[in-house]
Amino acid sequence: MRRVVAFVFCAFLAGCVTDSREAIQSLPDVKHAQVGPLSYRIFENAETKTITTTPPLDHALKAGLMNGLSLGMANVLPKQDEHQKAARVYLDQTGRAHCSISGGRKIVDARYSFSYDCAGAPAKDPSTAAK
């Protein structure tokens, strides 16, 4: 029975890793956006017009540990609205305040992806973003 539980647990974790890896594949540039006390890490894929946000590693590790030790009853990770604020701040910082966030989804507990639309506005090179 223990082996079955261990196998199912490992299979579940493998699925989570694959999904999050696909979401930020070939995005080497990490930017930052300050929302409250946290400096979110930002990964942008200009080809798919998506922004992936994640809290700082130390915060994510501490929150994940608290969540795990409390068996999910103390989930203190930032929610989707906080991540969306970080994506909005990033767009504003990169001169794209006119762009709208058109959708968002949770990849894993500490990572969200948002699509954006800048229709009718001049294109801005994301490599000029502030770090």
Q: Which long-range contacts (CB under 8 A, 24 or more apart) does 75-81 make?
A: 75/109, 77/109, 77/110, 78/38, 78/110, 80/104, 80/106, 80/112
The stretch 11-28 carries a mean pLDDT of 48
> What is the residue extent of each domain of the chain?
2-128
Q: What is residue 124's predicted lDDT score, i.e. its pLDDT?
A: 56
44 forms bridges with which residues in the sheet?
A: 51
The winner for highest mean pLDDT among 26-40, 70-84, 102-116 is: 102-116
The stretch 105-109 carries a mean pLDDT of 91
Percent of the chain at pLDDT exceeding 90: 44
Q: What is residue 69's predicted lDDT score, i.e. its pLDDT?
A: 83
What pLDDT digit, counting tens, does each position of 43-65 carry? 999 899 999 999 988 888 888 88
Q: What is residue 34's predicted lDDT score, i.e. its pLDDT?
A: 93
Q: What average pLDDT is seen over the chain?
A: 79
Q: What is residue 28's predicted lDDT score, i.e. its pLDDT?
A: 62
What pLDDT digit, counting tens, does each position of 20-44 carry? 444 444 446 889 999 999 999 999 9
Pairwise CA distance, residues 28 & 24, whole Å: 8
